[in-house]
Structure 1
Amino acid sequence: MDIHSIRSQFPILDQSVNDHPLVYLDSAATSQKPTSVINTVNQYYQEYNSNVHRGVHTLGTKATDAYEAAREKVRNFIHAKSTQEIIFTRGTTTALNTVAASYGRVNLKAGDEIVISYMEHHSNIIPWQQVAKYTGATLKYIPLTEDGTISLEDVRNTITNQTKIVSLTYISNVLGTINPIKEITKIAHEHGAIMVVDGAQSTPHMKVDVTDLDCDFYAFSGHKMCGPTGMGVLYGKQHLLEQMEPIEFGGEMIDFVNLYDSTWKELPWKFEAGTPIIAGAIGLGAAIDFLETIGLDAIHKHEHELVGYAMEKVSSIEGVTIYGPSAENRAGVLTFNIEGVHPHDVATVLDTEGIAVRAGHHCAQPLMKWLNVSATARASFYLYNTKEDVDRFVEGLVISKEFFHNVF
């Protein structure tokens, strides 16, 4: 990877924040966008802005072709078998809520079990809480090991023949833990359960093959993988999607409407009511082109080197606690606290140095409780970050620690 060439394609990185060159370490929240994606979205609005699947005029046809071409790019990117299995959504949250509402509420009953883990993002907890309340099903949690990983032994001890849904994140947005999804999927299927995967943090950073994983549903967001905000994907096995009813109704998802009843279009359109996120889908297609040009294996290797380098540097600072597993089983996320300093204060000092990190509970309050903290700070790395960024970050941590320890 030619990092300097890659960085030059992200115009937002070429700026100063608080009189310091920007170091952006918050890609787990949202990634920056390359010029190719920005130009593609602008081109749609400037040259062929039109609704899709409706008009027969030239602009409408061009917009429809670009929108559906993006669906094919997504299918190929995650190795789904058919574009009928690719549903465009507003993001991971909408995708997971769709599965919970359309599949979970209909297929579960009292006595059934839903299995998740303590490391889940709120969008993979709350929908299942609601399903459990609605159906009388039981919500169960796979315990975590001391270093914040999931053992297959604990998976086997938690999943039973009463388990109907297992829903787990592929990569933790807090700990960076990479979960053994393929093996967990096999265990779930052995007990007759379906497997739902939150792929928000995995899809931008590593190769994903949903056919090889054999998961039943897989959700991810475009904005974390160099694409536009407000755009996401739900992959589902075709036979399951065909059984499910849509949860939004209106234009474009219908086949025929009469006075008292209606029928739905075939997949994938029956789950895409109303005017879709056209520019977002086309921009996501451009983001996929960009990532595939670089290569997901190269991106994953680069981030692994960065997080290993960062953990080595940060662990040498006295009074800093790093959460999660070793670098060998970790994606490009480093979550930490400085003893005696609130993470929001750490993030504020880092910002004065031009360094952007995340601070808070990261939409993972059950995990914060498991860690016995109220909040943490988090640096997350992506393809455009460098070891120089890490060095600046480490210098900023030293400044933060010295500033607050001198003040208090």
Structure 2
Amino acid sequence: MGTALIVLAAGQGSRMASDRPKVLHEVAHLPLLGHALAAGAALSPERTIVVVGHGAETVKAALSGLDARADVARQESQDGTAHAVAQARPLLEGFEGDVIVLYGDTPFIRPETLQAMVEARRDGADLVVLGFEAADPGRYGRLVAEGDQLERIVEFKDATEEERAIRLCNSGVMAADAGTLFTLIEQVGNDNAAGEYYLTDIVGLARAGRMSARVVVCDEAETMGVNTRADLAAAEAAFQTRARAAAMENGATLADPENVHFAHDTHLGRDVVVEPHVVFGPGVTVESGATIRAFSHLEGCHVAEGCVIGPYARLRPGAELDRDVKIGNFVEVKSAQVDAGAKINHLTYVGDAHVGARANIGAGSVTCNYDGVFKHRTEIGADAFIGSSTMLVAPVRVGEGAMTGSGSVVTEDVPDGALALARAKQVNKDGLAARLMAKLRAAKKRSAN
């Protein structure tokens, strides 16, 4: 029996005070919707339906960037969660497996939790509801259950004092086979203060129809929803706390964990050392034994074993560093392959380039890769020595074992083993500095008067 996902992403999220759809706000450089889809994707669903509404075109465009294999259903008017789920029905015509309803603004539900819901369904429950034990139940809906058998969901405003004392709360996430889900939704009414069709009503309808309903319980942290900027900040903090703990558990050393920031897909190998104030953007892999020094920023790059990066280094997308590479302070590398043992230690930009093994790039050097329209490539051979403040005007090649003189502007290829000097001959004018300074000071004095 297959599984399908319905992810609700139609809400405006007015409390975010944003022109961007709420589900596209990011935690760890990934939209909230991306987190929800990633959790569901672990089940290898046959179908994934994202229900869009507010900012529908923007959300649809974001799905392609998330590489999500999802169909889109549109909720033209926001008439409640049951109404939103119903919009997915035409896209699941003929599907007979289980359907799990997720929320695009609830980013932290684990794949293992969703798998437990699927197993409960296949163990005979007609309807499965995800609940959590709340530290402060507040105004959450309460799950009235005996053991794992769910009797009903009671909204806070309708609950008795005895029911309000219940700490088992409703997350909103549900699972049922497609036929049962949509049959129950057909029976949901909107006789309530908001005039909306609530998905939670299907529990009472299922029990009235002598169907079984079961509760699967998860940690409260998994059910964190994001409705405000404060919620977004709390979600980011929660993600970072878990990511830091996981990195250290897997063998990385974080000298000051609270000042290291991860992306959703950061990978650190064993015995990686990360100093304070390091930020990882998306798409970073750091292999075992590398060191990332303080105040460095890495994004879209691969750092091999034994590399030392920083302090104050920036690795941009496409930076591929082989073993034992040294990238020093105020160095930026972008779209470049840097081979084993090469050193780029100070105040340098290397972009759209290939730096050979053991090459040494002197301070203040630049690969001048952009002519205002096109990007061009620089090739630096193995064991080459690039003198300080060399401008390599691409496309250009510096051969193996070649050198450039400090201050050179290199516009032509340098053969293997050659020395390139590309600067004007120095001329000294005796006494001219003193005469110029005297003239300038006199002019300044006249202007002051």
TM-score normalised according to structure 2 size: 0.19
**Structure in which a larger fraction of residues adopt helix:** 1
Task: Point out which structure has higher relative CO (alpha carbons under 8 A, 6+ apart).
Answer: 1
**Structure in which a larger fraction of residues adopt strand:** 2
Larger C-alpha radius of gyration, 1 or 2?
Answer: 2
TM-score normalised according to structure 1 size: 0.21
